[in-house]
């Protein structure tokens, strides 16, 4: 399986995030991708390829130009105002306030962000651009005929919407890849999100479109972040009516419950007639994950990979979450091995 990787992910190294009322070290760290790569090399999977550079045009196919420009300039504006430590917002719009872009960087952060866990650093914009390139490289490999590829990038992407960041995400790598597959000629593309958290950004980006199916298994937003999207009654709008499917699952979900929802989700993708599948691959449904409350074990991730291969469609796996660093390599390798065994 083609693995796309660049060490430049390490340009995003946030210092701290707001977690349970405390400022704690970032869970989303460069170690994560390094350990996944080490696992892949130890398992003899590959080849490992560097990403090509695609520039910002394919990013702007799913993100607003003003949002991309904000991310490019935010660090400089922050440093000029506050000095060269991580930028975090502290205030946001309530729904009855006015969405007018402030001049001050603190207001801009609140305008574009939706949480206090996603620091902008000196390298954020470049790292996010590389993560998009990693996903795009995988998408183009599929369009050129590869049956599968794994985009091993970070920061992750599925919480990033058309014009907002949060949940450790800035550019929506999976959405950018899905759009690139459409632009390379796939008539229908499915995004399957198996990260523990709902992919609110991906859902928002494709919500009114009938050409990209978004299907997500995740912790019930009544109980878990991102709280304000991901309910079962969100099914798409306009041309996209019926092209969004959410499977909210309770705390404590183990493989049996998960697999039942997964099989239903895979049935939706087959019925949709997807010509390519992008998987938002978080492994934070793992029982040992420090911020999550599902109970999947490493062999369950292999079973997940086998089921993904059972779709028998060109498949791009895109790295999202997974914070149990001691197991992240094993869990991702389990998915890839399971996929290859059943392919």
Give the three-state DSSP class for 77.
Answer: helix
Helix, strand, coil percentages for the chain (3-state, nearest 5)? 40, 15, 45
Other C-beta atoms closer than 10 Å to the C-beta of 106 total 17
CA distances from 281 to 64, 233, 235 (A): 25, 23, 22
Q: Does 195 bind Zn ion (CB under 5 A)?
A: yes
Candidates 5, 125, 196, 206; binder of Zn ion (CB under 5 A) is 196
In the complex, what is the shortest distance from the CB of residue 84 to Zn ion, in angstroms, rounded to a whole number? 29
291 binds, among ligand OKP, Zn ion, none (CB under 5 to 8 A by kind): ligand OKP
Residues 279-308 that bind Zn ion (CB under 5 A): 282, 284
Q: Does 321 bind Zn ion (CB under 5 A)?
A: yes
Taking the least distance from each CB to ligand OKP, the nearer of 228 and 237 is: 228
Residues 246-285 that bind ligand OKP (CB under 6 A): 282, 284
Residues 9-68 that bind ligand OKP (CB under 6 A): 19-20
**Burial (0-12, 13-18, 19+ Cβ within 10 Å), 97:** exposed
With b meaning 16 or more CB within 10 Å and e meaning fewer, what string describes 17-55? beeeeeeeebbbbbebbbbbbebbeeeebeeebebeebe
Q: Contact, 206 vs 191, CB < 8 A? A: yes
In the complex, what is the shortest distance from the CB of residue 321 to Zn ion, in angstroms, rounded to a whole number? 3
Residues 6+ apart with CB under 8 A from 100: none
Per the annotation, the verdict on 159 as an active-site residue is yes
In the complex, what is the shortest distance from the CB of residue 192 to ligand OKP, in angstroms, rounded to a whole number? 14
In the complex, what is the shortest distance from the CB of residue 193 to Zn ion, in angstroms, rounded to a whole number? 9
Q: Which residues bind Zn ion (CB under 5 A)?
A: 195-197, 282, 284, 321
Known catalytic residues? 159
Q: Which residues bind ligand OKP (CB under 6 A)?
A: 19-20, 117, 156, 159, 167-168, 195, 197, 225, 282, 284, 291, 320-321
């Amino acid at each position: 399986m083609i693995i796309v990787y660049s060490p430049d992910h390490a340009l995003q190294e946030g210092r701290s995030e707001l977690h349970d009322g405390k400022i704690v070290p970032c869970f989303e760290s460069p170690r994560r991708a390094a350990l996944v790569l080490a696992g892949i090399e130890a398992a003899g999977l590959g080849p490992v390829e560097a990403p090509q550079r695609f520039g910002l045009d394919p990013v702007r196919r799913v993100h607003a130009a003003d949002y991309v420009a904000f991310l490019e300039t935010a660090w400089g504006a922050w440093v000029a105002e506050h000095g060269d430590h991580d930028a975090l917002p502290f205030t946001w719009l309530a729904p009855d306030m006015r969405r007018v872009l402030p001049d001050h960087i603190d207001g801009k952060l609140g305008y574009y962000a939706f949480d206090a866990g996603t620091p902008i650093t000196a390298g954020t914009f470049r790292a996010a651009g590389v993560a998009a390139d990693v996903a795009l490289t995988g998408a183009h490999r599929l369009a050129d005929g590869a049956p599968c590829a794994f985009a091993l990038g970070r920061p992750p992407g599925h919480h990033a919407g058309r014009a907002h960041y949060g949940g450790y995400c800035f550019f929506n790598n999976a959405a950018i890849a899905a759009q690139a597959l459409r632009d390379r000629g796939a008539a229908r593309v499915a995004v399957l999100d198996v990260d523990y958290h709902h992919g609110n950004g991906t859902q928002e980006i494709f919500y009114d479109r009938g050409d990209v199916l978004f299907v997500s298994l995740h912790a019930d937003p009544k109980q878990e972040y991102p709280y304000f999207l991901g309910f079962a009654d969100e099914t798409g709008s306009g041309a996209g009516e019926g092209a969004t499917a959410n499977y909210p699952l309770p705390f404590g979900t183990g493989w049996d419950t998960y697999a039942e929802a997964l099989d239903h989700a895979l049935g939706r993708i087959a019925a949709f007639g997807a010509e390519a599948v992008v998987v938002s691959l978080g492994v934070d449904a793992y029982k040992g994950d420090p911020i999550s409350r599902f109970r999947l074990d490493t062999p369950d991730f292999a079973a997940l990979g086998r089921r993904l291969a059972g779709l028998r469609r060109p498949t791009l796996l895109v790295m999202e979450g997974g914070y149990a660093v001691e197991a992240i390599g094993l869990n991702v390798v389990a998915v890839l091995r399971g996929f290859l065994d059943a392919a």
